[in-house]
Structure 1
Amino acid sequence: MTPLRIPRDLGAARVNLVDKVRRRPLADLRPMPREVVRENERFTLYRYDRADGVRPHGKPLFLTPPLAAPALAFDLRRGCSVAEYFVDQGRDVYLVDYGPVNFGHRALGIEHWVDKLLPEALAEASVDSGGQDLHMAGWSLGGIFTMFTAAARQDLPVASVTAVASPFDLRQVPLLALARPVDRVLGGLVGPTYRALGGVPAPLTKWGFQLSAADKYLTKPISMLTHADDRDFLAQLEAVDRFMSSMYAYPGRTFGQLYHVIMRTNEFATGTMQLGGRPVRLADIDVPVLVVAGLNDTLAPLPAVEHLLDLVTGAPRTQLLQAPGGHLGVLTGRAAGRTTWPGMQGFFTTVD
């Protein structure tokens, strides 16, 4: 058993404790400066401001969030922000934000994002950038959306596609293996329930995310005590708490499609998805592909993520990047600035 860490700087621990008790923020949660490029009822497209004194270079980056999880995953806190890192590298960075889901979105399926929303937002970003191709990068389900969008539309201005912590072979996810026996007993109630509600409420999506890292949530009080002198560690916990409290609902039809894939067919693992009445094949992707896997990710473990490399047979180049972190941590954990982001930047630079 690993011995518990003992805080060494008691003075720093005291300051941090006082700030927590007095509800003073430890994390710098100010969003990175950005401008609205396009806003409509389906999405808001942002362009982050360029960093002072940094020469712009390289093709722009287009960030794709998943559903349910807020887009602030890409801008978690200052000093630990995907957007901040790539802006500092001199790239123009765009973010598409779907906003919260409500009952009015209940009829939207995966094809809404793959066939309509993402192509429209990407085209707007390309026009705004002067007609450039963009590197598309999506996290979790956003990475799956990114891949199927690139597969469905080879005419889009795409330089490369990146999937971060995106599970494609769902039989390799242990948590889902535990859930399938329950589904066999209670699965008949799922459809009527989400259809009646119009989707999956935000508290349930938050609970599901927490379940994937239950050990961290159970041991969080101990971690806070043993790292009481580590202000950056505590700031990260604070930023993650804000992220978790901002979860959205899942739209009904999309959840139904995902539930069918996850629990019944494992369709993602075949590389072909029926969308809008026609098959969309990942083998049709004709741009470089980067796959990023978290070494401590229970929701999207390495075998489930790297399976994507077997499906993108038409890509001129593929690369697997393994980095420390769980499902959120591999994207924007405290180590990401030394591991995930430089690896992505190196890949983008090679493609440029």
Structure 2
Amino acid sequence: MALPSVRVPRDLDASRDNLLHKLRREPLADLRPMPRDTVAERDGYTLYRYTPADVPQQGKPLFLVPPLAAPAFAFDLRRSCSVVEYFVHQGRPVYLVDYGPVHFSHRNLGIEHWTDHLLPDAMERASAHAGYEDLHVAGWSLGGIFTMFTAAALPGLPIASVTAVASPFDLRQVPLLALARPIDRLAGGLIGPAYRAMGGVPSALTRLGFQLSAADKYLTKPATMLMHADDTDFLAQLEAVDRFMDNMYAYPGRTFGQLYHVVMRTNEFATGTMELGGRPVHLADIEVPALVVAGTNDTLAPLSSVAHLADLLTGSPETQLLQAPGGHLGVLTGRAARRTTWPGMENFFAKHD
């Protein structure tokens, strides 16, 4: 386990003020969501358009795709550390699809529900709302995997480019899964009946999975907070991440079963082909520019597992790999993303506007 580097707070006044805020349970993070309007409310999702900033409007719309189990406000974590806020202030139209919480009634939904139906419908509606513009579609984690398979399955969608952020495609390169496979060999026969009986994976287990992927940070968090007691922005980020973790959702049963089969048994994503809706879908069929974003400190989706996607997109006219500092959530919306991930994405989008 990596220990935090030793840092001594230098601003005692700031340390005192931050401590008082914590003792009074007063938030340091500005958690106000960015203003937005509802474009469509459908069975299974809500489509939002964020209110344009007072800057010149330019570029094709950005369409954001969250993963399952994680709240969609990952893209709008807190003010000054929000993917949405950054691109709105670039003058780019920003849309977000939000699936909402997963319930027992969703237990029979598989990956093809999102790739064949929900996401295509939301993309068509966003494009129509934007004046039938093509979209820069960007997904995080499993949302990036959904983005790629949606684009491959339905080449007629209004897509200008695709981006996957922290989306692992070669799961042999994920150390945490290597540790889990012996458990699967011993108890794998119990897992299927368990998630089918529950209708999915409860939110508490989803949250635990994220925490295990960054166990060292959780164990050293009290010491880290003391060492950064005078850094209000650092503490605000921790606060925003805690809120994110407290709002994890469940996984629908059938989708979890598909992912479990891929993760533990076949590593199907790494082949670039997946059976969805009764037919094979090939990532090589994607014919739009693609950006692959990998976090250099991501233990849940290590660099090598994410970068493998670039090798699978043989039909894309341009595939770019962007490496940026941060863990699984941090590469998307950490404090360093302001200077690395987001400008890199905007440069890519502007090139393909």
User: SS state of the match for residue 47, structure 1?
Assistant: strand
Cα displacement (A) at 1:2: 7.3
Deviation string, structure 1 residues 284-317 (Cα, Å, up to 9, x no partner) = 0000000000000000001100000111100000
Shift of residue 200 of structure 1? 0.1
TM-score, normalization by structure 2: 0.99
Equivalent-residue separation in structure 2 for 1:19 and 1:293 (angstroms):
35
Contact 2:4 2:220 in 1 (8 A): no
1:3 Cα deviation (Å)?
5.2
Q: Given residue 14 of structure 1, which amino acid in structure 2 is its aligned partner? A: R
Report the equivalent of 1:171. 172
Is the CA contact (8 Å cut-off) linking 2:138 and 2:165 kept in structure 1? yes
The DSSP-based 3-state class of the residue aligned with 1:300 is: coil
Between the two proteins, the alignment pairs up a number of residues equal to 351
- In the other structure, the counterpart of 1:253 is 254
TM-score by length of 1: 0.99
The residue aligned with 1:322 is: 323
Q: CA deviation at 1:41?
A: 2.1
Aligned to 1:15: 17
User: What is the deviation of 1:277?
Assistant: 0.4
Q: Equivalents in 1 of 2:322, 2:116: separation in Å?
A: 28
Task: Give the corresponding residue for 1:48.
Answer: 50
Structure 1 stretches of 4+ with a deviation exceeding 4 A read: none
Q: Equivalences for 1:27-66 in 2 at 5 Å?
A: 27-52=29-54, 54-66=55-67
Residues 3 and 147 of structure 1: is their aligned pair in 2 closer, same or farther, counting only changes over 3 Å? closer
Q: What is the CA distance between 1:4 and its match in structure 2?
A: 1.2
Equivalent position SS for 2:33: coil
Q: Is the alpha carbon distance of 1:15 and 1:349 closer, same or farther for their aligned partners in structure 2, counting shifts above 3 Å?
A: same
Q: Which secondary structure state, in structure 2, belongs to the residue aligned with residue 331 of structure 1?
A: helix
Q: 1:284 to 1:220 in 2, by over 3 A?
A: same
Structure 1 letter corresponding to 2:40: R
Query: In the TM superposition, what whole-angstrom CA distance separates every residue of 1:133-174 from its partner, at most 9, and x where no partner exists?
Result: 000000000000000000000000000000000000000000
Describe how 1:1-352 pairs up with structure 2 within 5 A: 4-52=6-54, 54-352=55-353
* 1:191-242: CA deviation from partner (whole Å, max 9, x where unpaired): 0000000000000000000000000000000011000000000000000000
Gaps of at least 5 residues in structure 2 are none
Change (3 A) 1:2 1:266: closer
Q: Distance in 1 between matches of 2:6 and 2:301?
A: 28
Q: Distance in 1 between matches of 2:200 and 2:319?
A: 35
- Aligned amino acid, residue 222 of structure 2: P
1:40 to partner: Cα distance: 1.8
Report the alpha carbon displacement of residue 261 of structure 1 after superposing the two structures with TM.
0.2
Q: Separation in 2 of the partners of 1:254 and 1:297?
A: 24
AA of the residue aligned to 2:295: G
Q: CA-to-partner distance for each residue in 1:233-264, whole Å, 9 max, x for gaps?
A: 00000000000000000000000000000000
Secondary structure of the residue aligned to 1:59 is coil
Whole-angstrom CA distance in 2 between matches of 1:42 and 1:176: 30
SS of 1:336's equivalent in the other structure is helix
Consecutive unaligned residues of structure 1, counting only runs of 5 or more, are: none
